[in-house]
Structure 1
């Protein structure tokens, strides 16, 4: 981006700011580096603080229907406490750690339609201005990639990916929203479900894998989903047969969907030891996960999930461009939902 003159709260003639992120996609829980370039305005000012906000476009369900808004999910103060002279140029380097639950926005370099950004806030003499907004690209952790690749190898099709405001009950989720990847079933399971929804909640030690199956319509199954959870450790990425593992998870999900009304769960083994499993069969409610969003951000071809030389999930076409994110009202704030 070019330098952006701050004309809001700080006023005409204020400093300019341009945040430049280090090149390439970053990992959830990984390091985001870059520099904040400042240029003084028509007079010297005291820079009280420079803060980076991680923002995401999130869908929310409410009584009136669904809506989208910007949610701030992390803030970092990366500088401040210095005087910026008239027309002075200064660069402030930064290196911050992303939350482990930061959504994945691309796979094998292909965008999934998840819109993330880094917004720079500059505080001068008690006034704050959000002066720069840059797109953030996040690639999956190795264990997340292994699971997504296995789904592609097994014949599941990519339908959409979005961010849903709310929390999934019974998990260790920390952010106020979660990422949901919607898949069309492979030929083996097309008779049993319309779609499968996948959430991959990362933590420092591993991954919570949440699978949900929308059951085909019947009077008994209407309005109910089968929800199944598994945990795996980061260290297991190189030791598992992921096609067999993921297919086993899908079979468990399908096999247990019939007992949707029991509200029970069972657990085997230790968390992140690879054998931790839970099954719940409930109505959607405010303490559960919400259903699929209406604003799909990725349109895939008929094949959906393409298995190529890398054998993974590739979105064929992006229909909601990231540029729209920067045209949104930046005053929507950090707790929209």
Structure 2
């Protein structure tokens, strides 16, 4: 999919920018390639810089509920310092590396409702255009897919996925937001938990896996959230008994009975995955082979019902103009890009 836009800052006769991504599904920590095609306008222009930005639609909770806005989570300078003659064509090839924590937008070929984009910014004679935007499709790393497959084989089902603004305390999180993949509990755990939320925080060698359970209350107790963290290696994925590993994680998660807010540490070791203690806090924010039976079908059914759209903007997250600019893309209504300018807060 290609988006074109006239350099509105310079009016009619300005150059146009057309970014084409190499077809295929990217993965966290992997490379993304493509070409930025420039077409000169009616006059000669000096191209000061060409920048790529990775943009995500992110939700944030606040006193009035939850809103969604756009966050720029990485940017790359890929060109500039050249003169573009009138009517001339010029192409700039690029290869950039995605952050390891880049969210997964599809599983088993099904979109999850996670919206990522690659936006091209062109700076000419002191004016900037940020209108060229392409959707970014990201698939899971092998270890992420193996863990989700294990959940599916254990009887868990996919419900939804979203991005939450903020940081998870006590982790090595790098991005200003994290992804939550919500799973329906298997029959084995349905009487204990309402849902499971899975968050992956990848590094070049390891993967932090954060599991959060919305635990049901008992006859004499209220329900509460329980959280556990584990670290697994990204190597040797095909030599691990993921069913046993994930089931062990779930047993530790549901058996925990610590009070809300207590920080207890467990040193349990499951294979090459190391368990870290439950943090009763609900993700504290520091902002101030193929699927086994069940998961593939569940992802297809669940993803089909995921709504995508911008419903607002969170104060302090990003300028409102950015949401206006990419709102049409998020809504899926306009293949020519939106209007406006903005930047990351």
Which band: TM-score by shorter chain? 0.7 to 0.9
1:248 deviates by 0.8
Mind listing any 5+ residue stretches in structure 1 that lack a counterpart? 289-305
1:114 deviates by 0.5
- What secondary structure does 2:274 align onto? coil
- 1:287–1:124 Cα change, 3 Å: closer
- 1:308–1:276 Cα change, 3 Å: closer
1:309 deviates by 9.9
Residue 226 of structure 1 corresponds to: 226
1:323 deviates by 5.0
1:313 deviates by 5.6
CA displacement 1:164-185 (0-9 Å, x = unmatched):
0011111000100000011110
- What secondary structure does 2:9 align onto? coil
- 1:221–1:287 Cα change, 3 Å: farther
Provide the alpha-carbon RMSD of the alignment: 2.6
Further displaced range: 311-320 or 102-111: 311-320
Residue 320 of structure 1 corresponds to: 307
Mind listing any 5+ residue stretches in structure 2 that lack a counterpart? 309-328
Q: Is the 8 A contact 1:163 1:177 kept in 2?
A: yes
- 1:51–1:271 Cα change, 3 Å: farther
Q: Distance in 2 between matches of 1:283 and 1:112?
A: 23
Residue 40 of structure 2 corresponds to: 40
Q: Distance in 2 between matches of 1:61 and 1:328?
A: 26
Q: Distance in 2 between matches of 1:215 and 1:161?
A: 19
Q: Distance in 2 between matches of 1:17 and 1:194?
A: 48
Q: Distance in 2 between matches of 1:52 and 1:255?
A: 46
Residue 137 of structure 1 corresponds to: 137
Residue 175 of structure 1 corresponds to: 175
1:64 is the counterpart of 2:64: yes
- 1:64–1:283 Cα change, 3 Å: same
1:286 deviates by 3.8
> Superposed, which structure 2 residues align to 1:91-110 within 5 Å?
91-110=91-110
- 1:145–1:246 Cα change, 3 Å: same
- 1:284–1:220 Cα change, 3 Å: farther
